[in-house]
Chains A and B, each alone.
Chain A
Amino acid sequence: MLPDFDGLKRAFIQKINADMQKHVRNEPILSQIKHYRHYEGNQMNSRSMDGNVHDSNYRELSSKFEIRNDEVISGGYLTYIEKVMNTATDIQGQEVGVVFKTIGDVTEKTGNVVDGRNEPFGPEMILAAIDKVLIDFDENGNPKMPSFVFHPSMRERVMASKAKLESDPEFIRRHAEIIEKKRKEWHDRESNRKLVD
């Protein structure tokens, strides 16, 4: 063999793998989701706080890239980083897809779906969605509102609905009512966290 910097290259691969994972998790939605590393096993089972059980298997997310010898020789490690990061972006997209598919599967199974009844999107649907989810509160009593994810094509309608929710007294009132209801539910949940005989 020719002289090589094997130790250095191994350290480089470790660094790039760590950078790649950081890059994948830097996506706005994925960055809000806690990641755990599983060290063994071949399936997952999770039970949510509202008692729903979800079984799932691991799914491989992968992406390929090709790099020619002449690209490696001329570009060196920078070419490799560029290719790996493009792959990371691809995996990022796949992971977001998996997250939405999983949410879709679970909500369909649990019935936790807001039926738009063929009505155009509006503030009513946002309120209905808030009403459907669990909301926690911080130590000052402020709600920890969930994130809403919309397709970019809905941007204008979403912004208009948001503006209406924040300005229309009727929607403000109904929103406050839902939050109060959620606060009560949260209190009930929290007060259940105790040891009894």
Chain B
Amino acid sequence: MIERAIENWLTKTNERNFHIPFCQVLLNSGHKIIYISPHRQMEQGKDVFTIAPDGEYCAYQLKTGDIDTAVWRKINGEINELIQLPFQHPEVDKQKQHKSFLVTNGVVKDEVRLQIRDINEDNRTKNRNYSHLSFKDRDELLGDFIDAQKKFLPVEIPDIKLYLELFLSNGRDLFPREKYFDFLTNTLFTAENAKQKANFKNAIGSSVIVTAYLLNNFQTAQNYTAIIEAWTLLYASLIQYAKKNNADKPVWADSARLILSEIAFNFEQLTKELDERKNLLEGVISGDGGIVYNARTTILLGNLAAFENYKLTSDTAYKPSTKLIDLIAKYKSNLWFWGESAFPLFFNLIKFLESAGDHAAAQALLEEMSLDILIGNDREKEEGAYAGVYNTPEELLGRYLLGKKELDYRQFAGSSHILYVLVLMLAKRNKKGFIAKYWKDISWFNLLEFVPADATDFFAYHTGKGSNNSSFPNQTQSWTALVAEANDVSDISPLYTEFRAFIYLYINVCPHRVGKSLIKCLDS
């Protein structure tokens, strides 16, 4: 059944969507990936360039659908580039010939197979120094994908159910984060698979392939933020699995790079789409606008800001995007702090605005958010308090649009996961006046934080082991001590430092992982 699902995905998807799983299959067979075309526009006719385990260079051009004579004529120029032009890359010896591969998820028709044979023969007999062209079509690809998966396909009924639910998800909706995390941990990233190094590595490879086709409906809908969330969760789960099992970096780093390239690609697509839009309305108009529009704006801008923060952290030469600065200015009035789970999005916006030099706008967001919590979650509040870091915007919107009453908002009055984080951010920015004015109110708040028992579970969407801590701030607080605490980075987990750039993206997907020490790391 699941093999049929893979086949169904492969035959219907486009080359962009089987790009990453194909690269993972190459990694699984020992290839070193030298190049993946970042914008999916081929360089010298090559989408992917690898070094095979035997040291041979391999260049791949990926296509969708059947290749008959008509298609062959259309792509002839690209094929010529693929086989004739050497690949320019510092790691590649230009004098050494590469092997060329035409890859499609359709069928290479007989007449084209004959032409490929004739071209190779002609090049050989005339001593042209062109590379040999091979092809890989649907059946071979399907075999590769199924082989890569076989061992890791779900076998227990609840896991099969979960798999199919994910595969059949509404691609226009938000990504089902928790279900996906459960699927990964139940089926792939298991303790059993971690016992043998080969299994461990294959499980990681398999997770990339399976994610590509579980995302089929989201890819069809071009739901970029959902796709970004999925790859972000996979990256986090992969780190957690690797760190928990003390895996060497080479075992997982190539797959991790593939995932990051996919995240980057989808951010680029999202940015392109925004260029063409006059407003941020999406999908059916019924129920859209107002708070739904504002939630979308916040998710969108907060995610784009996170990607900017990721790039700014990874590359010190990177300059903040002026396009995003303009977008924030345009849609600033639509930003909506729906509850504490919106904090990471606002945090990313604040950090980005500061990097872009707009400290006033950043400060305004920080103070507004702090006041929202101080006033909105006052301990006397009976109704309408801001919900916590675990409550999704969808849950909160359901209250308005559908009249859902399941969530008891009184539980949030007088407590907060993020207030002390905000206080430390304000202290770091020397906002003594603001804190002094509200310290009395702050001191009444019950401060909440979850601390996983295993530090690597920071990268788990949820964990059964850990402590839900609560405490009250000092009634009388020394400003000097507060500033010292805000600037003290001695308690920062090495995991935060190692993956700092990625964590800007991760906290948007797992807002409940935000805590004092983490924000101190990201804010340092």
Complex interface bits, B382-412 against A, C-beta within 8 A gives 1, otherwise 0 = 0000000000011001101111000000000
B279 at the interface (CB under 8 A from A): yes
Q: Give the distance to chain B from A86, nearest Cβ to Cβ, in Å.
A: 15
Complex interface bits, A1-44 against B, C-beta within 8 A gives 1, otherwise 0 = 11111111111110110000000000000000000000000000
B292 at the interface (CB under 8 A from A): yes
Contact A4 B283 (CB under 8 A): yes
Could you tell me which residues of chain B, from 259 to 307, have a CB within 8 Å of some CB in chain A?
Answer: 270, 273-274, 277, 279-293, 295-296, 299-300
Say whether, besides A3-B299, A8-B401, A80 and B283 are in contact (CB < 8 Å).
Answer: no
B225 at the interface (CB under 8 A from A): yes
Binds A, one of B61-69, B170-178, B472-480, B491-499: B170-178
**For the complex, what is the distance from the CA of A112 to the CA of B191, rounded to whole Å?**
83
Indicate which residue in B281, B291, B292, B393 contacts A69 across the interface (CB closer than 8 Å): B281
Measured between beta carbons, the chain A residues less than 8 angstroms from B288 are 9, 72, 76-77
Measured between beta carbons, the chain A residues less than 8 angstroms from B290 are 72-79
**For the complex, what is the distance from the CA of A76 to the CA of B287, rounded to whole Å?**
7
**For the complex, what is the distance from the CA of A189 to the CA of B170, rounded to whole Å?**
57
A196 at the interface (CB under 8 A from B): no
Measured between beta carbons, the chain A residues less than 8 angstroms from B223 are 1, 3-4
Q: Give the distance to chain B from A12, nearest Cβ to Cβ, in Å.
A: 4
- Most interface-central of B224, B280, B293 (chain A CB within 10 A): B293
B226 at the interface (CB under 8 A from A): yes
Say whether, besides A9-B283, A9-B287, A13-B286, A4 and B296 are in contact (CB < 8 Å).
Answer: yes
Say whether, besides A3-B225, A15-B402, A73-B281, A8 and B287 are in contact (CB < 8 Å).
Answer: yes
Contact B402 A9 (CB under 8 A): no
Interface residue tally on B, bucketed by range: 35 or more
Total interface residues on A, CB under 8 Å, equals: 27
Could you tell me which residues of chain A, from 125 to 157, have a CB within 8 Å of some CB in chain B?
Answer: none
Contact B296 A1 (CB under 8 A): no
B222 at the interface (CB under 8 A from A): yes
Which of chain A's residues has its CB closest to B403's CB? A15
Contact B285 A80 (CB under 8 A): yes
**For the complex, what is the distance from the CA of A78 to the CA of B400, rounded to whole Å?**
10
Indicate which residue in B283, B286, B295, B400 contacts A16 across the interface (CB closer than 8 Å): B286
Measured between beta carbons, the chain B residues less than 8 angstroms from A10 are 284
Contact A8 B289 (CB under 8 A): no
Could you tell me which residues of chain B, from 126 to 148, have a CB within 8 Å of some CB in chain A?
Answer: none
Contact B286 A12 (CB under 8 A): yes
Contact B289 A77 (CB under 8 A): yes
A49 at the interface (CB under 8 A from B): no
Measured between beta carbons, the chain A residues less than 8 angstroms from B401 are 8-9, 11-12, 15, 77
What are 13 A-B contacts defined by CB distance under 8 Å?
Answer: A2-B270, A2-B296, A5-B174, A7-B394, A8-B287, A12-B286, A12-B402, A72-B285, A72-B288, A73-B281, A73-B293, A75-B290, A76-B289
Enumerate chain A interface residues (CB-CB to B < 8 A).
1-13, 15-16, 67, 69, 71-80
The 7 closest A-B pairs by CB, nearest first: A76-B290, A72-B289, A12-B287, A9-B287, A6-B172, A76-B289, A3-B225
Q: A8-B401, A9-B292, A75-B289 are in contact. List 19 more A-B contacts (CB 8 A).
A: A3-B223, A3-B282, A3-B296, A7-B174, A8-B287, A8-B397, A9-B283, A9-B287, A11-B402, A12-B286, A15-B403, A69-B281, A72-B285, A72-B290, A73-B289, A73-B334, A76-B292, A76-B293, A80-B287
